[in-house]
């Protein structure tokens, strides 16, 4: 693919999960600095150079949608969310294909500390033509979000359960991991203790 064909990079926010490990409800609705976790993710995406952003909603979709009010993004409901993250990936791929995206950046709705500069690094690396899958790394470990060229959409849509594109990232010759100075690529909110720990650490950055 010519680098000129890599202009439309959209963002898919995976925000449909059931928060089964979060003790007091939906982790996406927990607040940091007065904003819901998922809104932090969405604001970062919307403020980036992504051409478009769609949020895939499922569990408590109405409440999650309310936290995203006023942002320049689309929403897509995933009625199959209980079957795992792969169903949301599939909805994101469907939207990307319908919209004619050249690539999609998949962001996890429970990772509010990813820095805007990390998104830009991933997009710039992709547009340089050096890789068709681009993931960030920090301290020697791969993290999220991850960008996939449209040639991988069909494979992504075929995964099942809670698997994402991990196998593609680990085995495809076109995958690249770029080092970023962003510990937020590893910090997801699964439990209340995660929220407390990461919020305290984030406030000290």
**What is the DSSP-derived secondary structure letter of residue 35?**
E
Rounded to whole angstroms, how far apart are CA atoms 37 and 41?
7
Does 8 or 196 have the greater pLDDT score? 8
Structural domains of the chain in order of their starting residue, each with its CATH number: 7-203 (3.90.550.10)
Calculate the average pLDDT of the chain.
91
- Alpha helices (runs of H) in the chain, residue ranges in sequence order: 37-47, 61-67, 85-99, 116-127, 153-157, 166-171, 192-203
Given this model, what pLDDT does residue 192 score?
A: 80
Rounded to whole angstroms, how far apart are CA atoms 41 and 158?
26
Given this model, what pLDDT does residue 205 score?
A: 46
Does 146 or 171 have the greater pLDDT score? 146
Q: Which is nearest to 105 in space by CA: 135, 129, 83?
A: 135
Query: Mean pLDDT, to the nearest integer, of 103-113?
Result: 97
Rounded to whole angstroms, how far apart are CA atoms 26 and 3?
40
Where b means 16+ CB within 10 Å and e means fewer, 140-149 reads eebbbbbbbb
Share of the chain above pLDDT 90, in %: 76
Query: Mean pLDDT, to the nearest integer, of 166-174?
Result: 87
Helix or strand (DSSP H, E) at 134: strand 133-138
Query: pLDDT by residue (tens digit) across 36-76?
Result: 999 999 999 999 999 999 999 999 999 999 999 999 999 99
Q: Which is nearest to 147 in space by CA: 44, 12, 30, 7?
A: 12
Range with lowest mean pLDDT among 81-85, 88-92, 196-200? 196-200
Query: Mean pLDDT, to the nearest integer, of 111-115?
Result: 97
């Amino acid at each position: 693919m010519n680098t000129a064909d890599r202009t439309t990079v959209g963002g898919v926010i995976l925000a449909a999960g059931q928060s089964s490990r979060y003790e007091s409800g939906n982790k996406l609705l927990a607040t940091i600095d007065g904003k819901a976790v998922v809104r932090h993710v969405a604001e970062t995406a919307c403020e980036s150079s992504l051409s478009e952003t769609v949020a895939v909603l499922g569990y408590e979709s109405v409440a999650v949608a309310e936290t995203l009010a006023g942002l320049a993004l689309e929403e897509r409901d995933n009625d199959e969310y209980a079957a795992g993250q792969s169903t949301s990936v599939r909805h994101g791929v469907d939207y990307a294909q319908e919209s004619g995206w050249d690539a999609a950046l998949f962001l996890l709705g429970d990772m509010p500390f990813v820095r805007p500069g990390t998104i830009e690094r991933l997009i710039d690396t992709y547009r340089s033509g050096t890789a068709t899958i681009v993931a960030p790394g920090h301290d020697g470990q791969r993290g999220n979000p991850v960008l996939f060229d449209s040639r991988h959409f069909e494979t992504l849509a075929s995964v099942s359960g809670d698997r994402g594109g991990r196998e593609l990232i680990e085995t495809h010759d076109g995958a690249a991991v770029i080092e970023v100075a962003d510990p937020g690529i590893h910090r997801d909110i699964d439990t209340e203790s995660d929220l407390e720990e990461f919020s305290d650490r984030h406030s000290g950055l």
